[in-house]
Copies of this chain bind each other. A is one copy, B any other.
């Protein structure tokens, strides 16, 4: 493999001059450019980014660490990050922590080793240790989607509490009183916020949901299925479900189908996070959709501004609203008798 020195020799110039032509920096004549470019083409020279990164102490690489790459919500986030990063001349590395703190730690360590310039992190845990680790290693980080207690860092997320509140309000307006919460993992802020929004709406309506109606599990289809089954065995049965994310909603639909219950005729269902039309042959879920792409883009822009040494001195907390999308699954107003 040809090096910059080989190119220099062939073009009859010094390596540093080749470097200038490649990076279009400093001064060089048109004649020099031509002979250098000819030499590069002839040798099939490709610059070595390891060497460049080592010398420059910058790799023009960002990383996105997320918790579930199979979830379309995060696929959309990934897309948003990549778009903005590429525009600015950065490459993005994607890592999947699988909701495991250990894996997250392993990846962050790797990313520091790889000298990425900055990291976008969807944290698995509510504790700030991993954030501190990055800061100790001079790696700027922007937290995405979830908050972390005591973390001194920039953060871009959605208002999950308000989103859940709106969804429950909708159900209340439709006449529902026994509303079940199919919640996410207890340690995760989005899950906690959605639960809080649910409780606030219920409390304001003067309702104290039975403990059997308030479940917590994981952000998976299986967990949604299991929570729905559990809630359905309670008496009296709920008339509506709030699913804390899209996968939980899918699991709940499965459970309801199995029990011979129809959505929304027997049970109303509302959820969090939209599913892209590409993947839904029958889009019918009423949801509080988070602006995934927008969120990702803002976070990336914030990170890039940090890398450029710009932006406000204090850490930013950007909170975006969710959007209520009405479809069939929330159903019609129900008769009082039920």
Contact = CB atoms under 8 A, between A and B. Distances in A.
Interface of A: 1, 44, 46-51, 53-54, 59, 69-70, 72, 75, 78-79, 82, 91, 93-94, 96, 109-110, 112-115, 136-138, 220-221, 247, 250, 253-254, 275-282
A145 to B, nearest CB: 19
A108 to B, nearest CB: 10
B50 A59 contact: yes
B115 A49 contact: yes
A72 B115 contact: no
Contacts of A136: 44
Contacts of A48: 54, 113, 115
Oligomer: number of copies: 2
A110 B137 contact: no
A78 B96 CA distance: 11
Contacts of A221: 277-278
Contacts of A254: 281
A206 to B, nearest CB: 34
Contacts of A54: 48, 50-51, 54
A317 to B, nearest CB: 27
A137 B46 contact: yes
A69 B59 contact: no
A276 B70 contact: yes
A113 B50 CA distance: 8
A46 B279 contact: no
B113 A49 contact: yes
Nearest to A253: B281
A180 B47 CA distance: 50
A207 to B, nearest CB: 29
A137 B276 contact: no
Given A44-B136, A46-B109, A275-B279, 11 more contacts: A1-B138, A49-B115, A50-B51, A50-B53, A50-B54, A50-B114, A69-B75, A72-B279, A220-B278, A253-B281, A254-B281
A75 B276 CA distance: 15
A281 B250 contact: yes
A111 B205 CA distance: 57
